[in-house]
Amino acid sequence: MTEIPDPPQPPAPSDMIPVTIEEEMRSSYLAYAMSVIVSRALPDVRDGLKPVHRRILYSMRESGFTHDKPYRKSARAVGDVMGKYHPHGDSSIYDAMVRMAQFWSMRVKLIDGQGNFGSVDGDSPAAMRYTEARLAKAASFLLDDIDRDTVDFQPNYDESEQEPKILPAAFPNLLINGASGIAVGMATNIPPHNPGEIIDATLALIARPDMTLDELMQIVPGPDFPTGGIILGRAGIRSAFETGRGSVLIRARAEIEDLRRDRQAIVITEIPYQVNKSTLQERIAELVRAKQIEGISDIRDESDRSGMRIVIEIKRDATPEVVLNHLYRFTQLQTSFGVNTLALDNGKPRLMGLKDVLEAFLAFREEVILRRARHDLNKARDRGHLLVGLVIAVANIDAVIALIRAAPDAATARESLMTTAWDAADVEPLLALIHDEGNVVTGGKVHLTEAQARGILELRLQRLTGLEREKIQQELSEVATRINELLDIIASRPRRLEVMREELTAIRAELASPRMTEIADYAGDQTDESLIEPGQMVVTITREGFIKRTPLDVFRAQNRGGRGRTAAGRRGDDIVVRSFNAHTHQWVLFFSSGGKAYREKVWRLPEASPTAKGRALINLLPDLGGDSITAVLPLPQDESLWENLHLVFATATGNVRRNRLSDFRNIRSSGLIAMKLDEDDRLIGVATCREGQDVFLATRNARCIRFQITDDTLRVFAGRDSSGVRGIRLAEGDEVNSLCVLNHVEATVEERASYLRLANARRRAENAALQAGEDAEDTVAEASDEEAVPPDATIDAERFAELEMAEEVLLTVSDAGFGRRSSAYDYRVSGRGGQGIANMTFTSGKRGSEVVATLPVINGTDVMLVTDAGRLIRVPVDQIRIMSRQASGVTLFRLDTTERVTSVFPVMDDGSDEDGGEDGGEDDAATPDAAPDAPDA
């Protein structure tokens, strides 16, 4: 294949240099980037201003728009800046000027505006033809001495004017007002600080240049935003002050107020810096409409000239603290300010900490004072030089007048004054006083310079009076003193620092104001727990391992004997096997069939309706594997109580073990080995206990045992890999199904028997009316105790009252839905490992054959019963009669033929509905016509 040659290229002109496009792009882009960095986006560390702000302030000063002059149209100031110094659009200039006039943007305003300069709601300012402005008094401290050779000047964009490269700022404006800007490849975001604190830190650094950052932070604890708010934590502040980078968490200031008797509101009085108030309210409204935040009924803005006030009304059933935490999480009521202290230092971008910025300002300010002193020295020497000439003229006034009269013109007169030798007897000390090197004394004579000759010719005749001659001498003396002061400033650095300290102290008196932003301690980021509505939950676990939580107030209390309500949707033959009542912020320990312990907060459990099946535990506890949860223990919400608590474990085979609760404080997500189990054994319960209390074990076949917790009977095990010791000796086919911990009461057998006989008699008398109206099937004939009650045993009233105060009551429920309460005194304390005593009597018929649970209950509370059909009923404890521990009980739950009770648990919070339940109520209550046959006592 024939190769086609490239067409011939025309010869390059002799004045063209070939450049690759890569090199051209690189050089052009770098030039553009440096122009943006140096001349547009980044502030200078010395005066804290970007070029546009610097040009605005300088132009307004040159035009006379100072704080002691009337306001002028903003359009005039913008036009001057645009025409002389800033070759950009008027909108960018006006926007920069507007920001310097906004009190919510600047910690110390530099522009004093009159008219509509926008609002914290994000409203645009009025057009510049409508607003008026002048320099604020604080701006004068940035511009003072600019005409005294304190800073360098440079030509403007068309070289028709001169503009300052920097302003001779007398205070650290970069830190006080902050700055923000985006350059090419870099950005800056500097928060404002309290002017009094920053100036105090500057003064402290002048006195002690070796101050540490910690010492500086004692003076400047952190940023101070003009919109107030609360800074959470100090770690981000320290990082920003030390390295120049850090994140500061800002939170709005909110209070909860009572509006009416039953209504509360969250009132926002301060919002984070640079947050748009109107946008914030719109965001809250969107979240309420999307139901992402619940509990808000109304939001309105009541802000006025006196200050900000956003009112968020809360619904009656909502918790204001939880709603507020949701607002912090999902809105800009809490936001972070990313500090990036990047500024130009000697024309180069540099990331600086607090001390770096202050040191750079001090070095610049010292240079300003030095240059100003040199400028003033030159001016003072020039003035002293003229005054010396006037003194010579006054001393030789007759000869001077004669010389001037004889001269044909001014030039000749000036020349004659300069060539004539004048007597230097009076001026020689003055020349030394003012350090004048312009006049040289030779042979007692001195010649005038051209400047002095011109000054003499311009001398007014009134200066020849005696008073005026004295004023000349006095002024000359003052100039001499001033020259000596300036020479001292130039020669001595401590003197320059003293001048700086005096000026900063005077400025502080003008600019200092109270801190607006509070700095609060903060442990860390907001946790999800703070967003959860506190309240009681019913947690249910099914046989197949599904778990859920349901608000307690969903279940309404019913009278005993009701039909209950549907508790959970079942999958196949899945049934609820465990339920308990707990607070949303409680820890819950889960114990698996493999002897491992897991820990989770209640609010992390899936929330579902009473009819929902919940979520599989294997998804909540991924490391559960093939094990099933066999015991669940809600821990005290106050973790300080954990130190003095122990855990007692009980297994189905009757073994028990005691461990410290602190052994389970730190549990990994993969679980922790809790107890070593024998083959075919399982945990049936875990409870918290203290030394001296009693362990109570109850079995399925209605046996029970009670023994005291002591080091002799049940010691504390050091490890978690033990299978424990025998708690109760079981008959064949029996197993333990209930564990509880009771308070130990020292009482003899006779005292307990007498108390029970007297207490039962009192209860029978109180219930006489109720017993008369009940059907025989619900009238319980109490079985005789295994222990004989001595007929002559008595106790006095004081001892009876003591035992009554310490009495605990146990509820025993059978699988047929019957139950009764019994006094804990009916269960004697024995040794560990025995066969126990009878807990309930079963008879033929409908009374069941197994005990489902035995648990302590309290008057005024409710219990819930769950069946294998998924039905649940909530019954007030007060409606369950107290009987002997061997009694069969009364009807608690009406069951279908094949239905059985599988779980019983107490409800600690009432929240009941006295009108009855969804499927129960007065029609389902125990009545003479509806009760089943009662067994023989």
Which CATH number is 902's domain given?
2.120.10.90
Answer yes or no: is 239 within a domain. Answer: no
- Whether 355 is in a domain gets the answer no
Nearest residue to 177 (alpha-carbon basis) of 110, 234, 236: 110
Distance, in Å, from the CA atom of 507 to the CA atom of 513, rounded to the nearest integer, reads 12
Which three-class secondary structure state does DSSP give residue 444? Answer: coil
Strand partners, 647: 659, 688
Q: Tell whether 516 is covered by a domain.
A: no
- For residues 663-677, give the mean pLDDT: 77
Distance CA 733, CA 551 (A): 38
Where is pLDDT greater, at 628 or 681? 681
What's at 683, amino acid-wise? L
Is residue 481's pLDDT more than 70? yes
Residue-level pLDDT at 925: 32
pLDDT of residue 314: 92
- Please, are residues 832 and 713 in contact by the beta-carbon 8 Å criterion? yes
Torsion of CA 59, 62, 67, 69, to 10 degrees: -130
- Please name which of 114, 146, 154, 152 lies closest in space to residue 131, comparing C-alpha atoms: 114
- Final residue of a domain: which of 437, 468, 491? 491
Task: Please check the confidence at residue 479 and state whether its pLDDT lies above 80.
Answer: yes
Q: What is the pLDDT of residues 836-853, one digit of tens each?
A: 999 888 876 555 678 999
**Last residue of some domain: 168, 202, 221?**
168
User: Taking 50 as the threshold, does the pLDDT of residue 170 lie above it?
Assistant: yes
Tell whether the model's pLDDT for residue 437 goes beyond 90.
no
In a domain, 103, yes or no: yes
Quick check: is 227 in a domain? no
What is the CATH classification number for the domain harbouring 429?
Answer: 1.10.268.10
How many CB atoms lie under 10 A from the CB of residue 437? 9
Beta-strand relationship, 518-520 and 230-232: parallel
Model confidence at 118: pLDDT above 90: yes
What pLDDT is recorded for position 11? Answer: 65
CA-angle at 680, arms to 676 and 686, nearest 5°: 50
Q: Which CATH number belongs to the domain containing residue 137 in this structure?
A: 3.90.199.10
Mean pLDDT value across residues 544-570:
67
Residue 288 domain boundaries: 253-332
Instruction: Give residue-wise pLDDT tens across range 773-827.
Output: 544 344 433 433 333 334 444 678 888 888 888 889 999 999 888 899 999 999 9
The verdict on whether 130 is a catalytic residue reads: yes
Q: What percent of the chain has pLDDT over 90?
A: 38
- pLDDT of res. 388: 82
Q: What residues form DSSP beta bridges with 706?
A: 696
Provide the pLDDT for residue 913: 39
Where does the pLDDT of residue 13 fall: very low under 50, low under 70, confident under 90, or very high at 90 and above? low
The phi, psi pair for 732, rounded to 5°, reads -65, 135
- What mean pLDDT value characterizes the chain? 83
- 619 and 739, same domain (yes or no): yes
The Cα–Cα gap between 476 and 436 comes to 12
Q: Residue range 754-760: average pLDDT?
A: 86
Say what the alpha-carbon torsion angle 332, 333, 335, 337 is, to the nearest 10 degrees.
110
Asked if residues 812 and 889 have their Cβ atoms less than 8 Å apart, the reply is yes
Does residue 854 lie within any of the structural domains? yes
Burial grade of 782 (CB within 10 A; 0-12, 13-18, 19 or more):
middle
Entry pTM = 0.64
Spatial distance between the Cα atoms of 922 and 883, rounded to a whole number of angstroms: 24
Distances from the Cα of 508 to the Cα of 138, 171, 431, 513, 872, angstroms: 11, 9, 40, 9, 73
Residues 810 and 910 in one domain: yes
- CA pair distance 583, 565, nearest whole angstrom: 23
**Residue that has been written with the tokens 């399925």 in this structure:** 700
Q: How many Cα neighbours within 13 Å face the side chain of 316?
A: 3
Name the token pair of 693. 């209390």
Looking at residue 482, the DSSP 8-state letter turns out to be: H
How far apart, in Å, are the Cα atoms of 81 and each of 65, 149, 303? Answer: 13, 22, 36
Question: How many domains does the chain divide into?
Answer: 4
* pLDDT value of residue 776: 38
Q: DSSP assignment of 215-279, as one string?
A: HHHHH--S---TT--EEE-SHHHHHHHHHSEEEEEEE-EEEEEEEETTEEEEEEEE--TT--HHH
In this prediction, residue 721 carries a pLDDT of 72
Q: Check whether residue 895 and residue 783 sit in a common domain.
A: yes
Give me the residues paired with residue 179 across strands. Answer: 190
The dihedral sign for the CA sequence 109, 110, 112, 116: negative
Q: Roughly how many angstroms between the first and final C-alpha of the chain, as a whole number?
A: 118
Question: What are the residue ranges of helices labelled H in 304-347?
Answer: 320-330
State how beta strands 310-314 and 263-270 pair: antiparallel
321 and 397 in one domain? no
Whether residues 465 and 540 fall in one domain: no
Q: Are residues 612 and 714 in the same domain?
A: yes
Least confident of 105-114, 347-356, 397-406, 713-722: 713-722
- Same domain membership, residue 410 and residue 481: yes
| pLDDT > 70? residue 425 | no
Residues 485 and 539 in one domain: no
Q: Are residues 293 and 394 in the same domain?
A: no
Asked whether residue 324 falls in the same domain as residue 383, the answer is no
- How does pLDDT run across 306-328, given as a tens digit for each residue? 899 999 999 887 888 888 988 99
CATH of the domain at 266: 3.30.1360.40
Burial (0-12, 13-18, 19+ Cβ within 10 Å), 283: middle
Given a cut of 90, whether residue 592 has pLDDT beyond it is no
Percentages helix, strand, coil for the chain, rounded to the nearest 5? Answer: 35, 25, 45
Question: 480 and 547 share a domain?
Answer: no
In this structure, is residue 701 part of a structural domain?
yes
* Average pLDDT rounded to a whole number, residues 861-881: 85
In this structure, are residues 427 and 403 in contact, taking their beta carbons and an 8 Å threshold?
Answer: no
Place 575 in a pLDDT band, splitting at 50, 70 and 90.
low
pLDDT of residue 574: 61
Residue 24, token pair as written in the block: 């051209």
Catalytic residue among 85, 130, 157, 273: 130
User: Which of 168, 195, 221 delimits the end of a domain?
Assistant: 168
840 and 917 inside one domain: yes
What does the alpha-carbon distance between residue 551 and residue 605 come to, in Å, rounded to a whole number?
Answer: 12
C-beta atoms surrounding 396 within 10 Å: 16
Q: What is the DSSP letter of 885?
A: T
- Quick one: pLDDT at residue 221? 95
pLDDT tens digit sequence for 630-669: 777 788 777 777 777 888 888 889 989 888 887 787 777 6
Q: What is the DSSP string of 291-312?
A: TSS-SEEEEEE--BTTB--EEE
Asked whether residue 16 is domain-assigned, the answer is: no
What letter would DSSP give residue 553?
G
Tokens 């509370």: give the residue.
861
